[in-house]
Amino acid sequence: MADAVLAVDFGTSNSAAAVLEAGHVRRLAIEAEAETLPTAVFFPVGGPMQIGQAATDALIDGEEGRYMRSLKSVLGTSLMHDARLIGGKRRSLAEVIAAFLTKLRERAEAQTGQQFRRALSGRPVHFHTADPERDARAEADLRGCYAAAGFDTVDFLPEPEAAARASTGEAGEVGLIVDIGGGTSDFTLFRRSDRIEIIASHGVRLGGTDFDHAISLSHVMPEFGLGGELTRTLGEGRLPVPKAIYVDLATWAMIPFLYTAEVRRMVDDLVAHAVDRPRLARLQSVLRDELGHDVAFAVERGKIAANGGARGEIALGLVEPGLAVPVTEGTMNAALGEAREVLVRAVYETLALAQTMPGGVDHVILVGGSSLMRVVSDVMRQVCPGARVSRAEAFTAVVDGLALATGE
């Protein structure tokens, strides 16, 4: 059945696929009986590429190879087409994304017995905030990846507009989809009648990986020397420890590019001049033993544990036995203060585009894995205090809506 359309939610952190069968959405178990799979790849030394949970398991099990996550965040950037040594072969990130989408298509075909040459893909409202040229380049990049993955045709639908199609509510109400994913935050105001009428959509480049980034910089990176000082080789006085390497270490997509001889030599020099050498030595060991993703996972787990009021910790025992950093909702909120302001501003900008006052919103629907963060629901209750706030299927609302849209 060559005309079958595969709905694909290619996400920063997780991906999903679905089809429409007899008017009903069928989510495909493209990951070991699961409806979503991590958007991650692992290139083992001397072996084939692994994706999803298998890729993450390979990293956790300590297999030798290259792990990559948050691939979507590089769309529209110069990193996309730079060839680098990955898995023993020079390849670009565009080729890596295409290989991931190829695996996803093949699994979908094996599940359904259909051949998919057409795709309806979700996309954020804006891949890049306030940069139309880069935004267009990002969509072109993704379109090229789908083509390289074996799709003859790909159409795009903004993710919050897809989620609106899958939402439920009362006839006549004005709803606001708040879709907080791994890399972007998207908003769609719509009116519900016999169909979904889209009033306005807006988005910003802010998501769960940015939450992790802020928490990592505020909680973990000081334990690796961020904020410390260096002695001068010549002369008196001290210099601050450079921040750039910590920014990259706290960024999922940049971690693999820190494992180079040049970066390690630079850190060795920092340790030699550090006022607090033990902390800088931790950074040295993270790069030497390639523990950057382990640290990122620890931050993510600590964030989840502290969400909702519990006291958590960021366990860093792999870096140094017994090392752990406490994290509470209070310290996390302090770290996420700037992100909260961006979210508030983005919601008001969405309402302005729709020429709607906050009181005109009847129903706020939270979508996306990062919408589970308490800061998101707090912001929505602050901006739209008269609206009822509910959660949709956090990880599958977008792919459900995409599948429904294939039947329109």
State whether 126 and 45 are in the same domain: yes
State whether 63 and 104 are in the same domain: yes
Where in 39-131 does DSSP place strands (E)?
A: 40-44, 50-51, 65-69, 84-86, 89-91, 118-123
In-domain check, residue 221: no
In-domain check, residue 213: no
3-state secondary structure of 227: coil
In-domain check, residue 196: yes
CB 198 within 8 A of CB 353: no
CB 378 within 8 A of CB 149: no
Contact partners, residue 178, CB within 8 Å, separation at least 6: 160, 185, 187, 347, 364, 365, 366, 367, 371, 376, 380
State whether 93 and 138 are in the same domain: yes
CB 211 within 8 A of CB 233: no
Q: How crowded is the C-beta side of 237, counted as CA atoms within 13 Å?
A: 3
Which candidate, 344, 346, 354, 345, places its Cα nearest to that of 378?
A: 344
State whether 145 and 173 are in the same domain: no
What is the mean pLDDT of the segment spanning 352-375? 96
Contact partners, residue 375, CB within 8 Å, separation at least 6: 211, 333, 336, 339, 340, 343
In-domain check, residue 219: no
State whether 199 and 241 are in the same domain: no
State whether 188 and 237 are in the same domain: no
**Cα dihedral 352, 337, 124, 112 in deg (nearest 10):** -130
For residue 60, the enclosing domain spans 5-161+399-405
- pLDDT above 80 for 197: yes
3-state secondary structure of 202: strand
Q: What is the pLDDT of residue 1?
A: 45
State whether 130 and 186 are in the same domain: no
State whether 274 and 363 are in the same domain: no
**Cα dihedral 128, 404, 18, 115 in deg (nearest 10):** -100
Q: Look at the block and give the residue holding tokens 């948050």.
A: 70
Q: What CA–CA distance (Å, rounded) separates 101 from 91?
A: 16
| Residue 16 in tokens | 């999903």
Q: What is the pLDDT of residues 98-121, one digit of tens each?
A: 999 999 999 999 999 999 999 999
Q: What CA–CA distance (Å, rounded) separates 100 from 40?
A: 8
**CA 166 remoteness from chain centre:** 22
Among 311, 329, 347, identify where a domain stops: 329
State whether 150 and 26 are in the same domain: yes
Beta bridge partners of 190: 175, 198
Entry pTM: 0.94
Burial of 44 (0-12, 13-18, 19+ CB in 10 A): middle
State whether 12 and 150 are in the same domain: yes
Q: What is the pLDDT of residue 235?
A: 78
- pLDDT above 50 for 207: yes
In-domain check, residue 267: yes
> What's the CATH code of the domain at 194?
3.30.420.40
Q: What is the pLDDT of residues 241-288, one digit of tens each?
A: 999 999 999 999 999 999 999 999 999 999 999 999 999 999 999 999
In-domain check, residue 217: no
Q: What is the pLDDT of residue 369?
A: 93
CB 104 within 8 A of CB 71: no
In-domain check, residue 268: yes
Q: What CA–CA distance (Å, rounded) separates 173 from 363?
A: 7
What is the mean pLDDT of the segment spanning 133-148? 97
Three-point CA angle 251, 254, 257, nearest 5°? 150
Q: What is the pLDDT of residues 43-62, one digit of tens each?
A: 998 889 999 999 999 998 99
Q: How many domains does the chain have?
A: 3
State whether 138 and 16 are in the same domain: yes
Contact partners, residue 143, CB within 8 Å, separation at least 6: 154, 156
Query: 310 pLDDT band (50/70/90 cuts)?
Result: confident
Three-point CA angle 83, 86, 89, nearest 5°? 80
Q: What is the pLDDT of residue 285?
A: 97
Q: What is the pLDDT of residue 157?
A: 98
Among 304, 329, 354, identify where a domain stops: 329
CB 76 within 8 A of CB 137: yes
Among 283, 308, 329, identify where a domain stops: 329
In-domain check, residue 222: no
- pLDDT above 60 for 305: yes
Q: What is the pLDDT of residue 95?
A: 97
State whether 89 and 127 are in the same domain: yes
Q: What is the pLDDT of residues 6-28, one digit of tens each?
A: 999 999 999 999 999 999 999 99
